[in-house]
Amino acid sequence: MPALNQLYRQYQDRVAFYIVYIQEAHPIDAWQLDDNVEDEVLVTSTKTLDERVNVAGVCMTKLGIELPALIDGPDDAVERAYTGWPDRLYVIDGRIAHKSAAGPFGFKPAEVEATLKRLTN
């Protein structure tokens, strides 16, 4: 997240940035990772929009995410439409200008930065 937060600070006056919070990747009532325990991001699967908004806030705070967030509904429509799980990075300029490979190995903020430089210069 530090690299994305830096891009956000660097480009926020020229580009709209959003984290789209989708379904919980590793809830404690399903498949849990040690990283979640270390980061103290211990949440359950959500069933309502209110629950998801609350869990998104916990994750944003615990992970130190500075970008504003949009929250996918409990029907996971955005996740299904954009194949957002596992994490993906998109740059949209009227069209999809960049779509990363699936995370965590596809999580490469430097590729996003290269696309932003090309689009904003």
pLDDT digits (tens, 9 = 90+) for 17-66: 998 888 877 777 766 667 767 776 777 788 899 999 998 998 888 889 99
Is the Cβ–Cβ distance between 76 and 20 less than 8 Å?
Answer: no
User: What is the per-residue pLDDT for 22?
Assistant: 86
Burial class (CB in 10 A: 0-12, 13-18, 19+), 76: middle
pLDDT digits (tens, 9 = 90+) for 72-110: 998 989 888 887 666 778 888 888 898 888 877 778 899
User: What is the per-residue pLDDT for 70?
Assistant: 93
Among the listed residues 82, 72, 77, the one whose alpha carbon sits nearest the alpha carbon of residue 102: 82
Report the C-alpha gap between 5 and 60 in whole angstroms.
12
